Amino acid sequence: MELTPVILDGVPLFATTQWRFKKHNVHGLITEDSETGTYKFELKHFSFTESREGYLSIDDAKAAAEKKIDLWYNVQGRLLALK
């Protein structure tokens, strides 16, 4: 899963505070909270949305988001296999 920085108007590239990603048709956003220095991720799909916060690094937030997406994809595959 590759993170793409979100470039905001008036904010230099080296001060990026948001990153987008997409995996298995699930769109995600990782945001840095500049006051606390923590990161949170938000996942959006037409069947669910989820947000978790409190990660100490962007890599931790990325790994947790990817793990959640893989779990969701695995469960959906098993449910579809039962039909």
Reported as a single tens digit per residue, the pLDDT across 16-73 is 789 999 998 999 999 998 888 899 999 999 989 999 999 999 999 999 999 999 999 9
Alpha carbons within 13 angstroms on the beta-carbon side of residue 72 total: 18
pLDDT in the model for residue 79: 79
Q: CA-based angle 13:14:18, to the nearest 5?
A: 70
In angstroms, the CA 22 to CA 36 distance is 26
pLDDT in the model for residue 82: 76
pLDDT in the model for residue 15: 64
- pTM of the complete model: 0.84
